[in-house]
């Protein structure tokens, strides 16, 4: 886990590896930047700790993790309050604040402010967006609120911070906006990329050499995201979007897709002692648990995978995308559409494509649930919640919850996972543990190497 060292005599906190050498008695250690800032420290200008990954540890209580995901999704932007956030997770505002201070060292409001300020600081460094665009891209409700937060966190105005950026900071792109995505040391991009490639939605996602691409929709308008390798401490995100307002939430969803929002160190330590799983963990120590861009997408794939070979499920996904998705011309590779809006998906349209009635009914029920105001189909949902959604059962709920961030989920019905369990001779139940999702990821990665690539889609057509 990333830790931050704060020096009481200077009021500055630093990232690991900073060249400063204060006396040990003057150092306080914090597990996240927001905690250091809540204690009155400001970021070092030399090592720039706002540029390193600071995910939540996998040993953090589930209620706190859920509240953090809601903050990531914008629960405290604009008029959001700690009281409303606490109500959503079933706690009093006082108790939620106490849990945050105990486990994260900062209140929900302080964490949200720190995240927005750090994202804005990276935009000021890396992009040529105007200060006003940076403010709204970072989730601030007004320029006044933005200026105040930046002065509180960095002790300087946004204009002063922009003037301090270094020559090598600005990322030049041939179209779009390029940003750095901070990653933990050793993060296994090649394994995550291979996982996504094996499960790419035809027309919506593609992997070409070291680059992952996907189409997205923001308020009905299409966009394109590209993720490329960077250096040891970051990946590169190139975004082609209709507007930059709320960009922080787009980047956060990319982080969830890539498994960047949770530090798996504690779970990995637990697994290393297992005689069979430990070998897989030691082989790929930087493997993260991949998420998803869209809960609806992963739910549709889960339903289509029931009782079908991987190639057949992928073929059905491609047909649904071509017939019900929105065409987007001129995109690179094999990208052609955005994924269908759940509001436009119903059983009649699906059966009209030839999809069996059972699968069509299940997908339509999921689409209705996604459109609900208080849907359980969200990032961070637990399998037990998803099993209550019409059209889903415990087996499908595990498949979906695994990609939505439930660290106790174990998608035993996944074909790659089944192949790995058989090959390794593992028969015991691995579900329900804080490390279950990470164990499943290592098994699925191993299982993918045992099975032939999915067949069934060639040039966007059914095989």
* Active-site residue list: 14, 414
Closest to 235 in 3D by CA, of 199, 187, 283: 187
Structure tokens at 392: 């889903």
DSSP at 293: S
Q: From edge to edge, which strands make up the β-sheet containing 4-7?
A: 27-30, 4-7, 12-14, 42-43
Helix 62-72 crosses helix 82-89 at what angle (to 10 degrees)? 130
Cβ contact 431:412 at 8 Å: yes
Report the distance separating Cα 110 and Cα 8, nearest Å: 20
Report the distance separating Cα 98 and Cα 372, nearest Å: 31
Provide CB contacts within 8 A for 24, sequence distance 6+. none
Cβ contact 177:129 at 8 Å: yes
**Secondary structure class of 357 (helix, strand, coil):** helix
- Going through 183-294 in order, the beta strands assigned E by DSSP cover 205-208, 211-218, 221-231, 234-240, 262-263
Closest to 404 in 3D by CA, of 52, 73, 1: 73
3-state helix vs strand vs coil in the chain, percent to 5 = 45, 15, 40
**Secondary structure class of 209 (helix, strand, coil):** coil
Backbone angles phi, psi at 228, to 5 degrees: -125, 160
Report CA-CA distances (Å) from 436 to 14, 75, 77, 262, 294: 33, 28, 32, 14, 22
Give Rg (Cα) of the chain: 22
Report the distance separating Cα 291 and Cα 379, nearest Å: 8
């Amino acid at each position: 886990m990333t830790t931050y060292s704060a020096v009481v005599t200077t009021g500055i906190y630093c990232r690991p590896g900073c060249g400063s050498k204060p006396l040990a008695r003057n150092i306080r250690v914090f597990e996240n930047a927001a905690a250091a800032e809540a204690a009155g420290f400001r970021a070092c200008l030399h090592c720039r700790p706002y540029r390193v990954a600071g995910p939540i540890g996998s040993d953090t209580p589930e209620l706190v993790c859920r509240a953090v995901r809601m903050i990531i999704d914008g629960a405290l932007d604009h008029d959001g309050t700690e009281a409303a956030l606490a109500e959503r997770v079933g706690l009093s505002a006082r108790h939620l604040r106490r849990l945050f201070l105990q486990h994260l060292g900062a209140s929900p409001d302080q964490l949200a402010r720190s995240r927005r300020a750090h994202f804005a600081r990276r935009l000021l460094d890396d992009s040529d967006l105007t200060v006003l665009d940076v403010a709204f891209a970072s989730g601030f409700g007004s320029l006044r609120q933005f200026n105040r937060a930046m002065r509180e966190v960095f002790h300087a105005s946004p204009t002063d911070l922009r003037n301090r950026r270094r020559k090598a900071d600005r990322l030049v792109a041939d179209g779009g906006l390029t940003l750095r995505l901070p990653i933990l040391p050793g993060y296994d991009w090649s394994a995550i990329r291979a996982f996504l490639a094996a499960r790419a939605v035809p027309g919506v996602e593609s992997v070409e050499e070291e680059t992952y691409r996907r189409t997205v929709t923001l308020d009905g308008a299409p966009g394109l995201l590209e993720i490329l390798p960077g250096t040891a401490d970051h990946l590169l995100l190139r975004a082609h979007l209709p507007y930059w307002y709320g960009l922080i939430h787009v980047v956060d969803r990319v982080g969830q897709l890539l498994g960047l929002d949770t530090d798996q160190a504690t779970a990995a330590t637990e697994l290393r002692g297992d005689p069979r799983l430990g070998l897989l963990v030691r082989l790929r120590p930087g493997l993260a648990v991949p998420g998803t861009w869209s809960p609806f997408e992963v739910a549709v794939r889960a339903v289509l995978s029931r009782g079908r070979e991987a190639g057949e499920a992928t073929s059905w996904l491609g047909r649904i995308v071509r017939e019900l998705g929105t065409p987007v011309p001129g995109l690179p590779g094999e990208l052609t559409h955005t994924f269908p809006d759940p509001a436009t998906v119903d059983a009649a349209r699906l059966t009209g494509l030839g999809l069996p009635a059972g699968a069509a009914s299940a997908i339509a029920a999921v689409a209705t649930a996604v459109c609900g105001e208080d849907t359980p189909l969200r990032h961070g949902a637990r399998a037990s919640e998803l099993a209550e959604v019409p059209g889903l059962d415990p087996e499908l709920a595990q498949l979906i919850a695994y990609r939505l961030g439930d660290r106790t989920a174990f998608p035993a019905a996944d074909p790659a996972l089944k192949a790995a369990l058989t090959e390794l001779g593992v028969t015991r139940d691995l579900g329900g543990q804080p490390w279950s999702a990470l164990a499943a990821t290592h098994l699925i990665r191993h299982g993918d190497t045992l099975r032939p690539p999915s067949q069934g889609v060639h040039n966007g057509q059914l095989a």
